[in-house]
Structures are given as C-alpha cells and as structure tokens.
Structure 1
Amino acid sequence: MSGTKKLNYILPTIVIAQFLCTSLWFAGNAVLPDIVKSFSTETNLLANLTSMVQFGFISGTLVFAFFAISDIFSPSKVFFICGIAAALFNLGICLELPDVRLLLLFRFLTGFMLAGIYPVGMKIASDYFKDGLGKSLGFLVGALVFGTAFPHLLKTFTANFAWQYVIFATSALSVTGAFGIILFVPNGPFRTAGQKFNFSSCLSGFKNPGFRSAAFGYFGHMWELYTFWAFLPGMLMLFNTKHPTTVLNIPLFSFLVIASGGLSCMIGGLLSQKFGAKRIATIALAISGLCCLLSPIFLFSGSVYAFLIFLFCWGLSGTADSPLFSSLIAKNAPESLRGTSLTLVNCIGFAITIISIQVVNLLSKQLNVQYLYMVLAVGPVLGLWALIKKITH
C-alpha cells in the first residue's frame, strides 16, 4: 500500500471511530425525560447531568495531561482502552440506581474516559497529517458533533422501546470504534517521542501569541456551544408549548440542529485551506455570537420557519470554528507536547462549559426566558477580541 493510499485510508477510520465513541457524550441527555421519572424531585437534573459529563472530561484531561499519557504511550492504545471503558460506564445508568448520585457518578466516569477519545483522536490525526491539519481536524470535530447529536436520533427511532436501548446502542458503537482504531490505525509517521509532564512547559505555549489567541478564541467558543446544545431541547419544548398547533419532534430536531454543526466543521476545515483558519474562525464566531444576541427575536417568533432557520444558523455557525481553533493550537504548541497541550486547552475549555451551563440554569430562574440566551454572547465577544488581536495562520 502506498503512503498516499494509506493516508486516505487512515483519516476515514479515525473519523468513524471518533463518531462512534463520542455518541456516548449526550446519551444521558437524549433519554433525560425518561430518567427524570425515576428522580422526579431533582429539579436541576439537566444541568447537573450535562455538567457531570463535562466535569468527568475535565478531570480526565487533567490526569491525561499530568501524566502526558497521549505523548508517552501509543495514542491508538489509549483511545482503545478509553473507548471500551467509556462504553461500560455508559451502561451503568441502565442499572436500577437508588440514588441520583450514582447516576451522576456513571456520567462522570463516562466523561472521564472521553478524555482519552476526543483529544487523543486529534493527537492521532496530528501525528499523520502535518499539511492540511485544519481539514483533517474539521472532519474529526465534525465526527464529534455527529456523535454528540446521534443519541437524539436513536431516541427518535426507538420511541416505542425502553429508553435503555439508546444506551445499549451507544455503548455498542463505542466498542466498535475502539476496535477500529486499535486494529487499523498504528502510530503515525509524525509522532514525536513524548516527555514527562512539565506544567511550566505546557503553559509556555501561552507565551506564543498564536497559541494564546487561538486558545482564548476557543474558550469563548466553548462558553456558548455546549450550553446551546444542552438547552436546545428546552428551546424546542418551549416553542411547542407556545404554539400547540405546531408540534415539533424534539429528539429529531435536536439531532438535526446539532448534527448540522458537523457539516459546518467539515466545510470550515476545507475553506480554511483556501482562506486561512483565522478568517473562517472569526466569521463563524461572529455569526454564532450574533445568534446569541438575536435569540430574543427568533426563539420567540410566531413563525415555525423563522424559528427553525434561526436554530440551524446557530447550529451551523456554533461549531464551524472548533476544528480551526484545534488546528491552530496544535500548530503553535510545543512539538513534543502537542497532545498534552491539546488536552490541557480542552480541559480549560470544558471547565468553561460547566460554568456557562450552571450560570444559564441559575439565571433561568431569575430572568425572563426571552432574554436568557443573550448571556451566551459573552463568550464569542471575548473570543473575537482574542482573534482580532493576533493569531497565526
């Protein structure tokens, strides 16, 4: 097999495995209405369930970064082990759990293992593709977005079955993805032998203006994205409540809106090759920030078409910049700590999502819901400021 053919074969394998394994991410959210029946007294279950996955992911990324796991050990083996473990922890929520804390623990552990899937998948790609990394990461992050959305689609197709079938299916997908990586994706040709974790060395990346501005742009993007995804079913439910004559299928449209972002990730990655990562990331972040500011108008529009078009615009723009930030961070990170730097920045970004989700959940009890999601504009505004200051292509 020639080198070119091998590379053509490797990227689709990584992308498919990333999609299959990250289907675990929002599996709990997709079946939340069914889980609530067992814990009816938990008024903040949506925010807490989502936050525990994110908190688990953050904890995992800290551990992975501290021990430089994806730089010292074979990233394909790390991906495989984490994919299997995440599938098992995901199955844990199907048990008859007497305490909501056990439910949250299993989601935490699933998130912890996802730290060995998402950033490690990007590390594997960066070990294979130095040129066109933005395009490669565009497909990878697109796979993450499709994976995140997929449980909502499964819920649509299994509406007449027990909710546990969604969990069984996502765990099976994760196992399949894990085996795909370990069997077909060896260590990449550009893999650099790692070194032990050095906190000051990792933070030294922030001395690089390109790394710093890409990272802060990513942080602003993360303030908005996961909160939008987490509260999207609530937006659809609210529309149904206010317009009883037009009943939207909540799981189906949750899937379609989130999954549309997977398409924009791929398109953004391709466009970055021609126009540069900075330009495309800036445009996407500006559009999604504008969506936050315009949400009082369109989320409460009387027209179902205006409402859905707005949600799809938000879904498309909200993720298009994500792979571009990852590409810029990888390019500007210290060579031997590329995987650890990606993991560390992911860790900070997902910590920001927890704060954002909890802030919006708290404000939902204090503010008029019509103006609630304008709070998400804070992230894009600060991210744009970081991008405009300085960033390298």
Structure 2
Amino acid sequence: MPSPISTRSALKLIVIAQFLGTSLWFAGNAAAPELEVLLGQQDLVPLITTMVQLGFVVGTFGYAFFSIPDRYSPSDVFFFSAVLAAASNLILLLLPLEVSLVLGSRFLTGFFLAGIYPVGMKIAADYVEKGLGSAIGFLVGALVLGTAFPFLLKAFELSVSWKLLLLVTSGLAIGSGALVGFGIPDGPFRKINPKLDLSLLPSFAKNKALKGAAGGYFGHMWELYTFWAFLPALIFFLSEGKIEGTTQAAWTFVIIAAGGVSCAVGGLISLKKGSERVALISLLGSGICGLVLLIYPQLPIGIIFPFLLIWGLFVTADSPQFSTLVAQSVKPEHRGTALTLVNCLGFGLTIASIQVARFLSGFLEAKIYLGLLAVGPLLGLAIYGYFRKFKQKIEP
C-alpha cells in the first residue's frame, strides 16, 4: 500500500494518470486509415469506435454489478485495469492481423478502460469532500486530452506507424497504472461497501436526484462521442475536401483537446457558480452548435475552425459537472458503483448514436446527420428540468 500523501498530490497524480491511461481510447481511430489499407476494409472508424464503447459498456456494467470500485481498493482496481487495457491494445502486434482481431482488441481495451475512467473519478471523490466539481473537471479534462493524444501523433506524421502508435499508447497506459497503484493510497473520505448487495442497482432507480443528473449526462453522451468519431469527416465535408491528412489530424486534436481545457475551467467556475449551472449552460451551448450546423446553409472556410472549436469547448464541459451531481446524489460508499453504472448506460447510448449517424451518413450530408445530434442535449435539458424539483433530496 502506498504511503499517505496530500490531497493536492493525489489529485495531481490521478489527473496525470487519467491522461496517460485514456490515450488508449481513440488509439484505434488514429490507426484506422493504415489498418483499412492493410486489411482492405473500408469504414473501419465507426466499427472501431463502437467496439471500444461496447467493451466499456460491458466492463462498466460488470464493475458496477459486482460493486468492484467500492468493495476493493480503487487504486488496485485502476492499476490492474490499466495493465490489462494496455495488453489488449497490444494484441494486434502479436497475432496475425484480421478485422475480427482489430475489433476484439478494441472491445477488450474498452472493457478494461472501465477500471480507469470511472474509478479515477471515484478516487478523486475519496480525496475531496468540498469542491468535487473542480477536481472531476480536471480529471475529465485529462481524459479528453488523452482521447485527443493519438491525433496529435498523427498530426506530426513523420514516421509514426500504427504499430508505434499502439506501442506508445500502451506504454503510457502502463505508466498510468503504476502512478496510481504505487503512488496513490486509498483516500481519507473513502467508505468501504464490504459486501455484494444485489439490491443496490435497483434502488438507484428510485433516487430522483440521481435520475435527473443521469438524464442530463445521457443527453450529453448522445452527442459527445459521435461528434468526436465523425469530426475528421465533418472537417473534410465543411472544407469541401480542402482540409485533410495531417492538417485534418491537427484540427481534430486541437478541437478535442480544447474540451479538456473547458472541463478544467468549468470545474473552477463551478466552485463559485455550482456544478448545475456549468453543466446546463454547456449542454445548451453544444445543442445550439448542432442546430447552427443544421440550419446554416454553408459555413465560410474562415469560420469552420472557430465554430468547431466552440463546439468542442461546449461538448465536454458538462461531463464532469453531471458526474459530480451523480456522485453527490448517493451515499459515499455507493459513489463508485453509481458513477460506474451511469457511465455504463451513457456509453451504451454512444453506441446507438454512432450507429444512427453511420446509417444516416449513407444518404445525408455530414452537416445534417451530425447537426441532428442536438436532439441529445435538448432531451437532456428536458429530463434534468423535470427532476430538478427533487434536487433537495440529494444526499451530502
């Protein structure tokens, strides 16, 4: 067990570890163009993204069902999950390359990411009693930067092959596990849930404060990963094919990474304005961006990057604040399970959203099928508004 450390040190380490570990998330997407050529397979990106999300959904459900983050040391859970996620990512380098192997590797990587992202938030909640929105803001910001990182490698495409990309991201993930497993002890506010309680998940369905926070989060998730997955295609479409290759990868990195900054800034704002206000303004802003894409005939070339950058800022800033509201809606000993379960359902929605977008891409322009993502934020706002009257029942 690591030696006791200060809250500030623990949060710094978990933010760094979150960035390193979640670089695995879109590693397959960044490698997809080369894999498509090698495999003679088109349209791999939606399939790869879906398999990661599906693996994450199955993983988070398993972690939540067995209350793993609350029954066992979350630092240990993070460590073993990071190592196994890295190993799953490296399978492609060890076995004959086939489409089924690529999809299987992405599924297993997503499965073990379930022990990195929500468990990282659980560790933060165990160290912070007040100002949780700010702590999770930096944590999710690190996840967003980790997600964007593979596109940065592709943007500097000197000799970065898909094999090197997988090696680098797997190495970063192993490093993240070591930072947490050997550097962060259990937090002072951790409360252990010592036994498996099969009635816990059904009881969450009666918690109206939890349902409101989860509803807002689900609206956000309907939009987020589909926006990220199809962002290169949207850049190509809006620029009429003028932005592609390494420039397209650089744009993708900056737009996604900007969301990491907005998560951190939104977390700081939440200290004064509250998590609810930051979450709702961000959700509304991203919904408006989708509507602009729908109704505006053609964006001038000089407006495309600023517009997508603004969308990238709004599309993520609500995530840590809704997660904070989720954590605050349940007892401390149930936070890990609640966060993991809500992640499970939210990422399940991303699979449906990506597949709907993939289907619509067959006969609609990118600006139309991605503009329709505004449905998610608008429904999220409506659901949260309905349950808002129950917020006084949120437990400290």
User: Tell me, what secondary structure is at the counterpart of 2:7?
Assistant: helix
Candidates 233, 247, 250, aligned match of 2:248: 250
Q: 1:268–1:199: structure 2 CA closer, same or farther, 3 Å change rule?
A: farther
Letter in 2 for 1:194: N
Letter in 1 for 2:26: F
Gaps of 5+ in 2: none
8 Å CA contact 2:259, 2:314 repeated in 1: yes
**Pairing 1:372–2:355 present:** no
Aligned Cα RMSD in Å? 2.0
Give the structure 1 partner of residue 219 of structure 2.
220
CA displacement at 1:298 relative to structure 2: 6.2
Inter-partner Cα distance in structure 1 for 2:366 and 2:250: 23
User: Tell me, what secondary structure is at the counterpart of 1:390?
Assistant: helix
User: Tell me, what secondary structure is at the counterpart of 1:38?
Assistant: helix
Inter-partner Cα distance in structure 1 for 2:322 and 2:76: 26
Give the structure 1 partner of residue 258 of structure 2.
260
Query: How many residue pairs were aligned?
Result: 388
Gaps of 5+ in 1: none
Give the structure 2 partner of residue 188 of structure 1.
187
8 Å CA contact 2:28, 2:48 repeated in 1: yes
CA displacement at 1:281 relative to structure 2: 0.8
CA displacement at 1:355 relative to structure 2: 0.1
Q: 1:247–1:357: structure 2 CA closer, same or farther, 3 Å change rule?
A: closer
% identity of equivalent residues: 47
**TM-score, normalization by structure 1:** 0.94
Matches within 5 A, 1:226-375: 226-243=225-242, 249-296=247-294, 300-303=298-301, 305-375=302-372
**TM-score, normalization by structure 2:** 0.93
Q: Does 292-301 or 156-165 show the bigger shift?
A: 292-301
Letter in 2 for 1:119: P
8 Å CA contact 2:157, 2:246 repeated in 1: no
Inter-partner Cα distance in structure 2 for 1:193 and 1:18: 23
Q: Does 349-358 or 173-182 show the bigger shift?
A: 173-182
Q: 1:342–1:161: structure 2 CA closer, same or farther, 3 Å change rule?
A: closer
Letter in 2 for 1:302: P
Inter-partner Cα distance in structure 2 for 1:105 and 1:289: 33
**Pairing 1:100–2:99 present:** yes
CA displacement at 1:256 relative to structure 2: 0.4
**Pairing 1:24–2:27 present:** no
Matches within 5 A, 1:71-220: 71-95=70-94, 97-220=96-219
Q: 1:8–1:299: structure 2 CA closer, same or farther, 3 Å change rule?
A: farther
Inter-partner Cα distance in structure 2 for 1:301 and 1:377: 18
8 Å CA contact 1:195, 1:336 repeated in 2: no
User: Tell me, what secondary structure is at the counterpart of 1:97?
Assistant: coil
Inter-partner Cα distance in structure 2 for 1:148 and 1:330: 23
8 Å CA contact 2:123, 2:186 repeated in 1: yes
Inter-partner Cα distance in structure 1 for 2:297 and 2:183: 45
Q: Does 293-302 or 114-123 show the bigger shift?
A: 293-302
Q: 1:291–1:381: structure 2 CA closer, same or farther, 3 Å change rule?
A: same
CA displacement at 1:156 relative to structure 2: 1.9
Q: 1:197–1:310: structure 2 CA closer, same or farther, 3 Å change rule?
A: farther
